[in-house]
Amino acid sequence: MKSSLLIGTAASALLLAGCSQQENDAADASDTMVDEASMAEMDSAVSETPIEENTSGPNPAIENNPLLAEWTTPHGAPPFDLISEEHFVPAFNAAFESHSAEINAIASNSEPPTFDNTILAMETSGVDLGRISRVFFNLASSASNDDIRAIQREMSPRLAAHSASITLNADLFARIDSLYQQRDSLGLNAQQLRLLETTHHDFVRAGAQLEGDDRERFAEVRAGLAGLYTQFAQNEQADREGWTLALDAEDLEGLPDYIVSAAAGAAADRGLEGHVVTLARSSVEPFLQTSPNRELREEAWTAWMTRGDNENDNNNHQTIRDILQLRLEMANLLGYESFAHYRTGGTMAGTPDAALELMEQVWWPARNRALEEQGDIEARIAAAGLDHEVAPWDWRYYTEQVRAERYDLDQSEVKAYLQLDNMIEAQFYVAERLFGISFNERFDIPTYHPDARVWEMTNPEGEVIGLFYGDYFARPGKRGGAWMSSFRPQNGVNGDIPIIINNCNYNRPAEGEPALLSFTDASTLFHEFGHALHGLLSATDYPSLAGTSVDRDFVEFPAQIYEHWLEQPEVLERFALHHETGEPMPPELLERVLQAQTFNQGFATVEFLNSGFVDMAYHLEPNPADVDIHEFEQTVLASRDNLDAIPMRHRSPHFLHTFAGEGYSAGYYSYLWAGVLDNDGFAAFEEAGDIFDPELAQRLLDSVFSAGDSEPAMDAYVGFRGREPSVEPLLRNRGFIETGG
């Protein structure tokens, strides 16, 4: 069951302030990242009077504000051509006031509580606040600037305070609780009952049952955390965007043409001459894979791993300690032993022990495979006549050499067949085959940046049932990683169609050249589109149950299962076409690409689990105020005999998943949990002998992609698969056990 802080149409937008966007870890997902306030700025924002009543007649800032007007764009899409930064604060002020009035009217209603006058009334409240927040926080992620960041520093704690004013409203909760206690006698249908239960559950987890000083302190903690999340995210962003590695002519030697081109583009984007490597994963990781200059690899890797960990104003150590201390206090106020117990209490796992048990089950097979992989690298180093141990900045470089030798794979050769536009068409094709939907690009709908593109999604009858935005290239002002979010969720009450967006950070090609992807990039594209479809295909009766509003360790399942279709020959033969000749990928190359998918899985799984173990350990720590960040990391990693050459995928000072919000805090394990589901789930299509089996596709649609949070996550999975999942397909697909073993 999800743990939201609000209900109503403002809920998912305000969760953006608490960082609920879905992202793909495979692409350095900075899930949960929004720019929040520093502690001092947060205190100032919370203490000020949030709304000043207008007593002097009409207010032009409100009357002429496009954020508060009716949107007459096609399908009610945001009118980005009319919106500017100056519109947000007046719009937020007006929306706070109107939403508060709606909530107060519900709470003070003299009539006995009913589903319609309480739950449904809350569900239809906050329309303006919802759409303003979604537009704003999507811009803050995709097209930020100094003005937007300043507005975030003001609004994030105010949103937290507004959320608390609702969930801690005693009269409102009394009505909800009254309905909950008599829920079995109200004659509610299944979705009404589910909405009532999740609403009550969310209010309880947001402190509604607290009293007196505890209630007041809980609100203070929530506001404090909102400021700290922004501080953490902005510190990481400052370190990431403030570093570049300039490459001289000799530094370019040995680099593939596509990396040289990307480095030139990165320099041009920043107004620089020549070539630079940046700390975007799409820039630094290919450099680490291909640069023969070991000193430069070390320099780039060190900068990458020390974001938020430098002796400057962006150091995140104390911010981490403050976040952990407030989270522990919040969990204790609610009666939980730790924040990890609080977070997992609303998930499929249910307890920290269950999450740790799964990670432990995978850890040792993954570590053993990583040791084998390290042996291969050591052999390559020795064969080159070098005498040094395997360091973290060596792993990717020598791994690519082993991959090339073992599978005769040249990444440049593979990329030549993976054009971005073709892969976009491939993701649409899979959706059409599975779910009968189609996508048609629109060029007349305003966007916030020229990179952003818009498609209508239509059902088999030709009706438009969703809008999809795609924003695929890295640029200054755009956060790192890849993610899905929404401008509007599907709304079964008023009939609003969903408006969903995917963001990626691929390298922009040179003028006139196609954008070419690595296979990992293409997997990221499919992953995020799986999330997008979870929002676009939603068909629930109520917006709070729509789309991705599901358990954190279930939300990755639709995205991760969708990745499997990219790996199918039937899809690649159709869309993996050479960008110059148009010829399909040769069968022998396709076979080698697919055979290589289990390669280096020991490394990939170990670095992921390192972050998962540290994340969980932080949130089980009883004395977080005294934690030494470096020592804590090393202690956790050493406890499982970690390999020195494989650190955490995301080190603590830039671990946006867990410290820039609560989306994956004590929940980074969720990717692995969902990995069990997606590998077991796709095995059903393999067993059927048809990757587009109509019966299975219909069950996947009915129980997962369209169902939202209309039933518990395990019930949804069993509705699709017919049974609970097995971990064996995951272990087999990662090459940790033999086929059939």
For the annotated catalytic residues, the residue numbers are: 528
Closest CA to 371 of 606, 86, 529, 145: 606
Structure tokens at 126: 């906050």
Dihedral of the CA atoms 240, 300, 473, 31 (nearest 10)?
-50
By DSSP bridging, strand 499-506 and strand 483-488 are: antiparallel
Q: CB 634: neighbour CB atoms within 10 A?
A: 14
Q: CB 253: neighbour CB atoms within 10 A?
A: 12
- Contact status, residue 106 vs residue 163, Cβ threshold 8 Å: no
Per-residue DSSP letter, 425: H
Own/partner pairs, 634-642, CB within 8 angstroms, 24+ separation: 636/610, 637/610, 637/613, 640/363, 640/367, 640/613, 641/367, 642/367, 642/606, 642/610
- Contact status, residue 617 vs residue 632, Cβ threshold 8 Å: yes
- Residues 6 or more apart from 317 whose CB is under 8 A from it? 309, 629, 653
Q: Where are the beta strands (DSSP E) in 135-258?
A: 245-247
Q: Where are the beta strands (DSSP E) in 161-258?
A: 245-247
Structure tokens at 669: 């394990």
Owner of token pair 């990391």: 633
Residue 42, classed as helix, strand or coil, is helix
For 96-157, the DSSP string reads HHHHHHHHHHHHT-SSPP-IIIIIIHHHT--HHHHHHHHHHHHHHHHS--HHHHHHHHHHHH
Name the CA radius of gyration of the chain, rounded.
25
Per-residue DSSP letter, 442: E
For 625-690, the DSSP string reads GG--HHHHHHHHHHTTT--TT---SS-GGG-HHHHSSSSSTTTTTHHHHHHHHHHHHHHHHHHHT-
Structure tokens at 9: 């149409």
Which residue type, as a one-letter code, is found at position 503?
Answer: N
Structure tokens at 482: 């890849």
Structure tokens at 61: 């800032």
Structure tokens at 128: 């303006």
- Contact status, residue 202 vs residue 3, Cβ threshold 8 Å: yes
Closest CA to 628 of 646, 653, 645, 609: 653
Rounded Cα distance between 584 and 231, Å, is 48
Structure tokens at 458: 């239509």
Rounded Cα distance between 514 and 394, Å, is 30
